[in-house]
């Protein structure tokens, strides 16, 4: 088969891709060498700003199939009937490290799903943990700064990490998750995913429910010890990417079963703790898991940059029947995620193939802007309302309205009867086997013992003591032993 002709970006054939044009043999280069200048200029610009968080990522395409009827709880069309299939893209990621970081590290993992539904794209942007370190988005930049590279030393500093946690008692639950056995997944295939936040479902009758999403891996949960992870990261920094790619290429398609917890909206106000607090889980005894369907990944991207690096997820991409809750962290992400993509990729990032709707067509009055990839709207008017047959509003909200009351201001969240920063961390500790507890204590002590300030150590120890007396005592003893060595 004849090979295609190499061309410039304008389509002109390239005569020589081995030698630059010069002023005579051995002479200086010529500025008229269009091919050389185009290649160097493009090379200088082929990287875009990486994500501040979740920079290191992998992804794959697949589908979601409904296996159980949940139409009593949501009118979302892609969940409307058993057997319904929806194409999707899923991006996994680590949180704190940069694009060149290793996969096998102790860090939460992003679990972001883009459902290409017939009512528009629905983005469910979660993690592999059901909780998070903080409950108010105003603290998020500070939290991330404490976990990333120090502005002076240029490396992650235990002083910064543990100093922030010392001043954030609500982080104790997530710290216990992170330092436990599930803190380093063996691969992306062998971890669960969670929506983490509380979301709202609305059914056809207008009844509202609050829900939490749980994606349970069908491969089984497998994790790495700190020692195993260090060895793997040194051998293959892209270990999780390698595993996902090779698994799908050989036809071993990873899958997850989606379950939800459902709470009637009327119960939320009187629930024993704040159901919108991202640092807490809903006990399954109160709200059992209800199966929804099966998610399968069966196709690798053809180009990692175009389809993984440029994939843009935003929690405010809802569809009819699904909406936000008063979860303050979720509310902050409704702005921050879309804003990050407009900065990184431009205002027209939704026109990129991986982000564009696939099962429907976007009809907006948006025009122009950097990197407009199509002639959207063509000759049509770009304002609304108009008299020329342009797209019109439906008048039907995607989800039920949220009741609000009181004065504006910087309020702390309303206190419920059992709100507590330490209770669930203690419950998680007590669920662990003795071997799991030993590893948890060793992981915490290994980091906390490196902190230079005794007052920061004491504040963190107080959190573990408050979660469970034995937990606190064992961490304290382990930290003291390491500091005396």
CA distance 434 to 281: 23
User: Encoding tokens for residue 476?
Assistant: 């304290």
User: Encoding tokens for residue 175?
Assistant: 């710290």
Catalytic-role residue among 35, 54, 214, 240: 54
Q: Inter-axis angle of helices 434-448 and 454-467, to 10 degrees?
A: 160
Q: Inter-axis angle of helices 226-235 and 239-249, to 10 degrees?
A: 70
CA distance 354 to 311: 6
- Please, are residues 119 and 76 in contact by the beta-carbon 8 Å criterion? yes
Catalytic-role residue among 127, 128, 300, 460: 127
CA distance 236 to 451: 29
Handedness of CA 102, 105, 110, 116 (dihedral sign): positive
CA distance 209 to 197: 14
Strands 255-264 and 322-323 turn out to be unpaired
- Please, are residues 125 and 334 in contact by the beta-carbon 8 Å criterion? no
Other Cβ atoms less than 10 A from the Cβ of 418: the count is 11
Choose among 196, 222, 245, 239: nearest CA to 105: 239
Q: What share of the chain is helix, strand, coil (3-state, %, to 5)?
A: 35, 15, 50
Segment (H or E) for 446: helix 434-448
Name the residue with tokens 């920061």: 456
Is residue 127 flagged as an active site residue? Answer: yes
Choose among 263, 258, 256, 292: nearest CA to 280: 263
Is residue 443 flagged as an active site residue? Answer: no
User: Encoding tokens for residue 432?
Assistant: 């662990």
Positions marked active-site: 54, 127
């Amino acid at each position: 088969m004849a090979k295609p002709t190499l061309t410039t970006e304008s389509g002109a054939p390239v005569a020589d891709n081995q030698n630059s044009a010069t002023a005579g043999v051995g002479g200086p280069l010529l500025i008229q060498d269009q091919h050389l200048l185009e290649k160097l200029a493009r090379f200088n610009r082929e990287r875009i700003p990486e994500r501040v968080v979740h920079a290191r990522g992998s992804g794959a395409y697949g589908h979601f199939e409904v296996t159980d009827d949940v139409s009593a709880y949501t009118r979302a069309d892609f969940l409307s009937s058993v057997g319904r299939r929806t194409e999707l893209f899923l991006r996994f990621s680590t949180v704190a490290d940069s694009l060149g970081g290793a996969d096998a590290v102790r860090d939460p993992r992003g679990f972001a799903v883009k459902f290409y539904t017939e009512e528009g794209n629905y983005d469910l942007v979660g993690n592999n943990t059901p909780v998070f370190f903080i409950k108010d988005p105003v603290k998020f930049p500070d939290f991330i700064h404490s976990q990333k590279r120090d502005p002076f030393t240029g490396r992650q500093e235990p002083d910064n990490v543990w100093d922030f946690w010392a001043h954030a008692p609500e982080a104790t639950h997530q710290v216990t998750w992170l330092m436990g056995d599930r803190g380093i997944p063996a691969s992306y295939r062998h971890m669960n995913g969670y929506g983490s936040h509380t979301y709202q479902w609305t059914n056809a009758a207008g009844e509202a429910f609050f829900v939490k999403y749980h994606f349970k891996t069908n491969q089984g949960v497998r994790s790495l010890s700190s020692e195993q992870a260090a060895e793997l990261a040194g051998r293959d920094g892209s270990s999780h990417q390698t595993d996902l790619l090779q698994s799908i290429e050989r036809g071993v398609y990873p899958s997850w079963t989606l379950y939800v917890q459902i709470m009637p909206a009327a119960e939320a106000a009187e629930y024993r703790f704040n159901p919108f607090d991202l640092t807490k889980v809903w006990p399954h005894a109160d709200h059992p898991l209800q199966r929804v369907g099966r998610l399968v990944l069966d196709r690798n991207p053809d180009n990692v940059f175009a389809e993984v690096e440029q994939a843009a997820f935003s929690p405010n991409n809802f569809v009819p029947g699904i909406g936000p809750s008063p979860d303050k962290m979720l509310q902050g992400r409704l702005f921050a995620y879309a804003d990050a993509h407009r900065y990184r990729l431009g205002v027209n990032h939704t026109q990129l193939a991986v982000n564009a709707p696939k099962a429907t067509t976007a009809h907006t009055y948006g025009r122009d802007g950097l990197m407009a990839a199509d002639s959207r709207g063509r000759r049509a008017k770009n304002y609304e309302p108009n008299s020329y047959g342009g797209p019109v509003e439906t008048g039907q909200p995607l989800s039920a309205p949220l009741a609000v009351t009181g004065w504006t201001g910087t309020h702390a969240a309303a206190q419920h009867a059992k709100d507590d920063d330490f209770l669930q961390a203690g419950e998680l500790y007590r669920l662990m086997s003795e071997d799991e507890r030993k590893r948890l204590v060793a992981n915490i002590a290994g980091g906390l013992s490196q902190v230079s300030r005794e007052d920061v150590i004491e504040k963190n120890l107080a959190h573990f003591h408050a979660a469970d007396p034995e937990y606190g005592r064992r961490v304290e003893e382990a930290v003291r032993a390491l500091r005396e060595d």
